[in-house]
C-alpha cells in the first residue's frame, strides 16, 4: 500500500462540554491506501 496526505477543509465543530461552536482550521492529514495484495489477503 501507499501513504499520502490529504487536505481537510476548514469546518465548524462543537465543544461537547459547553456546546460552544468552534472553527477547526484547514489541515493536512495522513491516509493509507491498501494495495491489491493486502486487499486480497484481507478477504
Is 0.85 surpassed by the pTM of this model? Answer: no
Quick one: pLDDT band at residue 27, thresholds 50, 70, 90? very high
Q: Please give the Cα distance from 24 to 13 (Å, whole number).
A: 7
Within-domain flag for 40: no
How high is the mean pLDDT of the chain?
96
Within-domain flag for 26: yes
Within-domain flag for 41: no
Question: How many CA within 13 A on the CB side of residue 18?
Answer: 5
Within-domain flag for 18: yes
Within-domain flag for 39: no
Domain count, the chain: 1
Domain that holds residue 8: 2-33
Q: How far is CA 33 from CA 12, 23, 28, in A?
A: 27, 29, 16
Quick one: pLDDT band at residue 33, thresholds 50, 70, 90? very high
Amino acid at each position: 500500500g501507499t501513504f499520502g496526505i490529504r487536505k481537510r477543509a476548514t469546518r465548524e465543530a462543537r465543544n461537547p462540554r459547553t456546546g460552544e461552536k468552534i472553527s477547526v482550521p484547514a489541515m493536512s492529514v495522513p491516509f493509507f491506501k491498501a494495495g491489491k495484495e493486502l486487499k486480497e489477503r484481507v478477504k
